[in-house]
Chains A and B, each alone.
Chain A
């Protein structure tokens, strides 16, 4: 989650500042990861790539799932961060530049903190989606919540009971995140509340 956020911020800045080569590369990256299904990407990483590069066979399902989910969601988050950055009033950029800040200082101290307030609700949406998407890791042979449930149900035939428990667990996790969300949003908007 954190990794995806950091990566997404980097991509967003690259796109906003328009670093020559990196911008084009980032565009292609985002286009690919938004344009193809997550499941396909995970399979490609875990089952496909090791056929081309033998050193990748050493990667286990957990790592592959983390890398895949990170890249996939960073592509989505980059676009919402980019939109939030562009939403920060032009005068804020000019004021930062006028006092002699470098682009990095301006982003870190002025622009990103303001963009964060705007981006927070959609980013948390992606986090929620990310948490639920970890259930796809069982297709890579990872025994996470869903994989464990699958085995349990197959052994006991208690399909409904097992999967309702799984659903409730996800629900509780996501709801607690939603609780954190309201805290974060309050904090980020303290500068604009009167």
Chain B
């Protein structure tokens, strides 16, 4: 569905992504694990063009986009095909929960306000926050905010959901409700790329696990393989520390 070729991102002369190749198949749920500062989040951000990579290519249904030459239309296309769930939720502070979910539908996808709000109401029901439809982010708990963040991503019906450490900013008491919701989303075979430090969660929902270090994909495979008998010593040493 989306192929990534030779993706390279350099910050101040230091390569953070070092020629990433990745094929994402429709319906595939991919978990990315690895030590901090190894480019996991940067990879997601590059796919969404929140960062401009120095080098590389995205191939969407056979159509190639050179990341350095991408024009505004191609960037928008990538953003419409992907939906981002942020570590810090990043809900629009001046919009209610319902408006947050409906905003993209109205502004970017040109839907009528009524249909967008209807869709937002369905999603709020689905994520168990129907009673918070008119609440502003500031009055929601971290867990509720992140659920709205996931709801916003669901509303877009994007092919690929990019989920960046969805529980890292949460108080422990809210982690479960967010993981439960993401598990449900994953079970519906939403194509997703999830950066996470929750190994049990990754094991449960992922079809494929990528281990990244130093801006490279060191090893990848099904969770049973990666978590029980990884080939690479770096993967083994990382998992020893976190499991």
Q: A residues bordering B, Cβ < 8 Å?
A: 89, 91-92, 94-102, 105, 109-110, 113-114, 190-194
Contacts and interface: CB of A to CB of B under 8 A. Distances in A.
A109 B102 CA distance: 13
A92 B103 CA distance: 13
Interface residues of B, number: 27
Nearest to A98: B84
Contact of B108 (A89, A100, A193, A194): A100
B234 to A, nearest CB: 31
B92 A100 contact: no
Nearest to A108: B107
Contacts of A191: 93-95, 136-138
B117 interface: no
Interface in B132-155: 136-139, 152
A167 to B, nearest CB: 39
Nearest to B92: A110
Q: Chain A interface secondary structure, helix, strand, loop or mixed?
A: helix
A190 B138 CA distance: 10
Contacts of B152: 99
Contact of B93 (A98, A102, A114): A114
A98 B49 CA distance: 8
A17 to B, nearest CB: 14
Contacts of A96: 92
Given A91-B88, A191-B136, A100 B94 contact: no
Contacts of B79: 97-100
Contacts of A193: 138
Nearest to A88: B93
